[in-house]
Amino acid sequence: MESSEKPKSSLRFFIELVEIVLIAFALSWVLRTYVIEARKIPTGSMLPTIQLEDRVIVDKFFFKRFDHINHGDIIVFHPPPSAHATDDYIKRVVGLAGDKVEIRNKITYLNDQRLNEPYLLEKPNNDFGPIVVPNDSVFVMGDNRNNSADSREWGFLPVENITGRTLFRYWPLGEIGALAR
């Protein structure tokens, strides 16, 4: 009688193990796709705020449902076709719909007010604008202004292309915390 119980319990254990693995995989897929995602930074366009190879946590759900994009937010997005890129970008939001953005004499102006940008690696080399951000779009730039492919190059970013907003850096361990705004 014991021999017939053993195969049943072994089979039951295997089935439960498979169920647990499938549920864990499905939950992690849903969380990563729709809620929160860990990202590794592939370029230096956000230096010095985010270093090459840093890892950040990206909110993909809550900012869309309960909040909105603000000036200074660091976002992850699908670049527009004019960027000729396939990988997601990470940049800082400088202008929102209706804002006037201009770079003049190495200083960024937002709605004719000098923008305080202590996070910049260096001041931009070239003047830009003025331009007004259209509805349902944002204007983004990297903190490493002279080495960043951004809205100055490929135009406005449609809000629908935004996939998430960075919450904080989690790697390297000595740099854990919120990113400069």
Annotated active-site positions, please?
Answer: 45, 91
Are 119 and 142 in contact by the 8 Å Cβ rule? The answer is no
Question: Helix, strand, or coil here: 138?
Answer: strand
Residue 121, CB-side half-sphere exposure with 13 Å CA sphere:
17
Query: And the tokens for 122?
Result: 């260096």
Q: Tell me whether residue 129 is exposed, middle or buried, using C-beta atoms within 10 angstroms of its C-beta: 0 to 12, 13 to 18, 19 or more.
A: middle
The H or E element that residue 119 is part of is none
